[in-house]
Structure 1
Amino acid sequence: MPSYLYPSNGSFNLKALSGSSGYKFGVLARIVNYMKTRHQRGDTHHLTLDEILDETKLLDIGMKQKQWLMSEALASNPKIDVREGKYAFKPKYHLKDKKALLRLLDKHDQLGLGGVLLDDVEEGLPNSAKAIKALGDQIIFVTRPDKKKVLFYNDKHCQFVVDEEFQKLWRSVPVDSIDEEKIEEYLKKQGISSMQETGPKKIAPIQKRKKPGSQKKRRFKTHNDHLNGVLEDYSEGVPSKK
């Protein structure tokens, strides 16, 4: 879902939105952002639409907008869970406490799925900062090139001392000639999946189309000189007439 539907600062100026369409989506954005905020503070129970409008101080919207919210906007929103006519925020990961977070990271580690984005953890875990701090060195933070942080399970059973001689051998192996595609192909053969869905997306370069007729005709040297006068020329699709 686009980020403008639940901005992190929680501030909306509905009066500044022009037109009825802008007003409707402004109302939706305010509701989704509020549902996310209450989920993060631990209020995960479902609310009716009237309760939501009361808590977000949106009591002045008309019946037409309310019907749109119930039948379309909230019902089809990927960040809203609808249950028996009531609504709650739907994060990517439903995490109740720090133990649930540790189990998630451990599962990702065991399945070779890598880490979990901190943004997704903060979205789905109430009081996430407190839980992450309590886990301490049981998790590892890695910052991606796009500045987003990823959490990994720190499996202490895999920690061991590697002899310095082996470290030197490891560092001496040249990898400059190995591109990302070859690395990914090797990982797939080993049954290890990459984290492409959470990494920065790469934009493929636009290939210029070659103009018709721009390619030069390739000339081939013949070596059948002794068959001159016998072979026919099919280079143009039709045998040449003599």
Structure 2
Amino acid sequence: MDPALLREREAFKKKALATPTVEKKKTKDDSQFKDDSKKKSKSSSSVSAGPKLDATNYKTMVGSSSYRFGVLARIVRHMRARHQEGDDHPLTLDEVLDETNQLDVGNKVKQWLQSEALQNNPKIECTQDGKYIFKPVYKIKDKKSLLRLLKQQDLKGLGGILLEDVQESLPHCERALKSLAQEILYITRPTDKKKILFYNDKTATLDVDDEFVKLWRATAVDAMDDAKIEEYLEKQGIKSMQDHGPRKPIAPKRKKAAQKRRQFKKPRDNEHLADVLETYEDNTLTQKGVSIK
């Protein structure tokens, strides 16, 4: 080999060793870190691609039916409370939302309330000018209208009315019921323990002897049903009054038309053979006017 080339090679090695260099080696930790960073970037990009949740649109997103009905229930409760306090002037939708502190509802919820929910709600009545008012069970405003309603129920035989319906319909109900304490009878229904109001018709009161009252109150029938009471009265010779309710009219049965029997015509003694037939009378043969004995 040429000695000049060898000398240049050795000089190049010395120069290369004299210059400092830094070599980066790939490690497993670096690769794992890069993989994790890639996964995080992908997840963040997928989250950012979805709808953003903020204070303006989270209430109007799909699947917020529970929120809608919550807004509606709050409106109905507020309108009932207004009516019970005697405040019965109608309100617009914006006024209702303002009084219920729900002005932050979205446009879709407002549209649903205005076009469907409030229109079809049995407790809300829509006026002709587009306002809303509470719709009670009975149209009563004071104690006089309540007493008039109870009298009509009694005269027509419709029975009483529920106390909770009166409390919902009549503003300042407790005050009116207290002033009408002598005109109203309270009966507790045994099935659901709800109180029912009846008109106290004093013209139907009868004076009963105290002895009968004592006997009535001393007789305990709590452990007996109606069948046992009726059986006991029959043994004592007392017939009990029975009420089976209104009976349905029985339709009269149609009588089947009697089938007419066919009448067969009897032969008329062979009149067309009168010239041919022979008659036997008393062992006598008669034929064509000639008698043979």
When residues 99 and 178 of structure 1 are mapped into structure 2, their CA distance, relative to the original with a 3 A threshold, is: farther
Aligned residues: 169
Closer, same or farther: CA 138–62 of 1 in aligned 2, 3 Å:
same
Quote how far apart the aligned CAs of 1:186 are. Answer: 3.3
Find 1:158's aligned residue among 200, 204, 212: 204
Other-structure match for 1:20: 64
Judged with a 3 Å threshold, the aligned counterparts in structure 2 of structure 1 residues 49 and 184 are, in CA distance, closer, same or farther, namely farther
- Give me the whole-angstrom Cα distance separating, in 2, the residues matched to 1:124 and 1:33: 13
1:115 partnered with 2:160: yes
Distance in 2 between residues matched to 1:114 and 1:30, nearest whole Å: 33
Alpha-carbon separation, structure 2, partners of 1:184 and 1:122:
36
Q: Which has the higher contact order (CA 8 A, sep 6+)?
A: 1
Instruction: Provide the TM-score with structure 2 as the length reference.
Output: 0.52
Q: Does 1:188 align with 2:259?
A: no
- Structure 2: how far apart are the matches of 1:91 and 1:185? 35
Q: Structure 1 residues 175, 166: CA separation in 2 closer, same or farther (over 3 Å shift)?
A: farther
Amino acid at match of 1:147: K
Measured after TM superposition, the shift of residue 136 of structure 1 is: 1.6
| Distance change (3 Å), C-alpha of 1:70 and 1:185 | farther
SS at match of 2:88: coil
Give the match for residue 46 of structure 1: 90
SS in 2 for 1:142: strand
**1:177 is matched with which residue: 205, 217, 227?**
227
1:71 is the counterpart of 2:129 = no
Partner of 1:74, secondary structure, is helix
Aligned to 2:39: none
CA RMSD in angstroms, aligned pairs only: 2.8
Q: TM-score, normalised by structure 1?
A: 0.63
Whole-angstrom CA distance in 2 between matches of 1:187 and 1:119: 28
Aligned with 2:144: secondary structure? Answer: helix
The whole-number CA distance in structure 1 between the counterparts of 2:188 and 2:72 is 32
Kindly tell me: are residues 184 and 94 of structure 1, through their superposed partners in 2, closer, same or farther at Cα, counting changes over 3 Å? farther
Partners of 1:70 and 1:29 in 2: how far apart? Answer: 14
Find the partner of 2:78 among 15, 34, 37: 34
What residue identity is the alignment partner of 1:188? P
The 3 A distance-change label for structure 1 pair 88 and 155 is: same
Deviation per CA, 1:103-153: give whole Å up to 9, x if none.
111111111111110000001000000000011210011111222111110
CA distance in 1, matches of 2:165, 2:210: 38
2: distance between equivalents of 1:185 and 1:178?
16
**How much does 1:176 deviate?**
2.3
Q: Which of these two proteins has the greater Rg computed from alpha carbons?
A: 2
**What is the identity, as a one-letter code, of the residue corresponding to 1:177?**
A
The 3-state SS of whatever aligns with 1:188 is: coil
Change (3 A) 1:54 1:105: same
Identity of aligned residues (%): 57
Report the AA paired with residue 176 of structure 2.
A
**Where do 5+ consecutive residues of structure 1 fail to align?**
1-14, 190-242
Q: How does 1:95-174 map to 2 (within 5 A)?
A: 95-145=140-190, 146-163=192-209
Cα distance between partner residues in 2 of 1:163 and 1:187: 31
